[in-house]
Amino acid sequence: MSFKLAWRDEADGVKYNTLASITLLIDGTPAWPIPGEDTSEFEWFADELFAHLAECWKPLVLRQTYPIPVQPERPSLLRSEAEKRWSALTGPAAEKEEQEVAAFEDVHNLANAFGGVTGLLPLWFLRNHDDMIVDTQERLWKVPFDVARSALTIAGSAIADRLGKADHDKWAQLLTAWQQRA
């Protein structure tokens, strides 16, 4: 598993430091954003992925349970299972659980890192003992946890390196958060 970051220095005459084509590869095959296709169509600002990784690192690599008492077959089914449960609950209990599920989705569905982008497949990461479940809704993989953590670390460090070289002062707070994530 690895993230492929193809940096784009300029688009439509505008210079960029953080614009990249981002692809998740599993066993050398593109898994996300478009399964089975090596495409550079999804270009976005890698600093958004980087900020997500820096902010959510601990729950992303440590949490192994769902936030409410449901056990969906895969992370992408959490909301539908939760909605079934909520139909039997009333008022504040359902609202509280809905907030917990939304917070869980914000952390574990990395597609949420790309604010304002619609139509992306979800990209769920959820630890399961010595594995990381990677779920795009279309396909599910179990990747050894150490391999997944390494891929996330390498991607984050590559983005950190690019940001630090581009304008260390501008990105200092985020770079510090990344360095202190462990």
- The pLDDT score that the predictor gives to residue 38 is 61
pLDDT band at 43 (very low <50, low <70, confident <90, very high): confident
Residue 97 has pLDDT above 70, yes or no: yes
Instruction: Give me 100's structure tokens.
Output: 């917990």
If you average pLDDT over residues 152-174, what whole number do you get?
A: 97
Residue 40 has pLDDT above 60, yes or no: no
If you average pLDDT over residues 34-53, what whole number do you get?
A: 82
If you average pLDDT over residues 41-59, what whole number do you get?
A: 93
Q: Where are the domains of the chain?
A: 2-179
- The pLDDT score that the predictor gives to residue 119 is 83
Residue 125 has pLDDT above 70, yes or no: yes
If you average pLDDT over residues 46-73, what whole number do you get?
A: 96
Tens of pLDDT, residues 142-154: 999 999 999 999 9
Percentage above 90 pLDDT, the chain: 85
Average pLDDT taken over every residue of the chain: 93
CA–CA separation, 177 vs 151, rounded Å?
Answer: 18
- The pLDDT score that the predictor gives to residue 41 is 65
CB atoms within 10 A of CB 175: 19
Query: Is the separation of the CB atoms in 33 and 121 below 8 Å?
Result: yes
CA–CA separation, 122 vs 74, rounded Å?
Answer: 12
- The pLDDT score that the predictor gives to residue 37 is 61
| Residue 8 backbone dihedrals phi, psi, to 5 degrees | -120, 115
If you average pLDDT over residues 157-165, what whole number do you get?
A: 97
DSSP count for the chain of H helices, then E strands: 4, 9
Tens of pLDDT, residues 102-122: 999 999 999 999 987 878 899
- The pLDDT score that the predictor gives to residue 135 is 98
CA–CA separation, 73 vs 85, rounded Å?
Answer: 15
